[in-house]
Amino acid sequence: MINENGTDLMQETSIIKVEEKIDKKANDFERIMLIYKSAIKVLKTKFDILNEEFDNFCEYNPIDHITERIKSPDSIIEKMNRKELELTYQNLVEQINDIAGMRIVCSFKDDIFKIVDIIENFQDIEIIERKDYVTNPKPSGYSSYHMVVKVPVNFTDKTIYVKVELQIRTVAMDFWASLEHKLKYKKEISKKASKELVNAAKTIAKLDDKMMQIKFNV
pLDDT band for 62, please (50, 70, 90 cuts).
very high
The catalytic residue among 19, 165, 180, 188 is 165
The closest of 117, 172, 170 to 147, measured between CA atoms, is 117
Neighbours of 53 (CB within 10 A): 11
Q: Is residue 97 part of a domain?
A: yes
Mean pLDDT to the nearest integer, 67-84: 94
Which pLDDT does position 8 carry in this prediction?
53
Query: Does the residue 4 lie in any domain?
Result: no
Which amino acid is located at 117 in the chain?
D
Q: Is residue 33 part of a domain?
A: yes
pLDDT at 133 over 90: yes
Say if 3 falls within a structural domain: no
Is there a contact between 106 and 63 (Cβ–Cβ < 8 Å)?
Answer: yes
pLDDT > 60? residue 86: yes
Domain count, the chain: 1
**Closest C-alpha to 91, from 31, 13, 147:** 13
Q: Is 100 part of a structural domain of the chain?
A: yes
How far, in Å, CA of 105 to CA of 42, rounded?
Answer: 18
Domain membership of residue 11 (yes or no) is no
Q: Three-state SS for 29? A: helix
Mean residue pLDDT across the chain: 88
Q: Is the residue at 5 inside a domain?
A: no
196 is catalytic: no
Is residue 186 very low, low, confident or very high in pLDDT (cuts 50, 70, 90)?
Answer: low
- Does pLDDT of 162 surpass 60? yes
- What percentage of the chain exceeds 90 in pLDDT? 75
User: What range does the domain containing 164 cover?
Assistant: 18-217
* Range from 28-32, 124-128, 159-163 carrying the lowest mean pLDDT: 28-32
| CATH number of the domain to which 86 belongs | 3.30.460.10
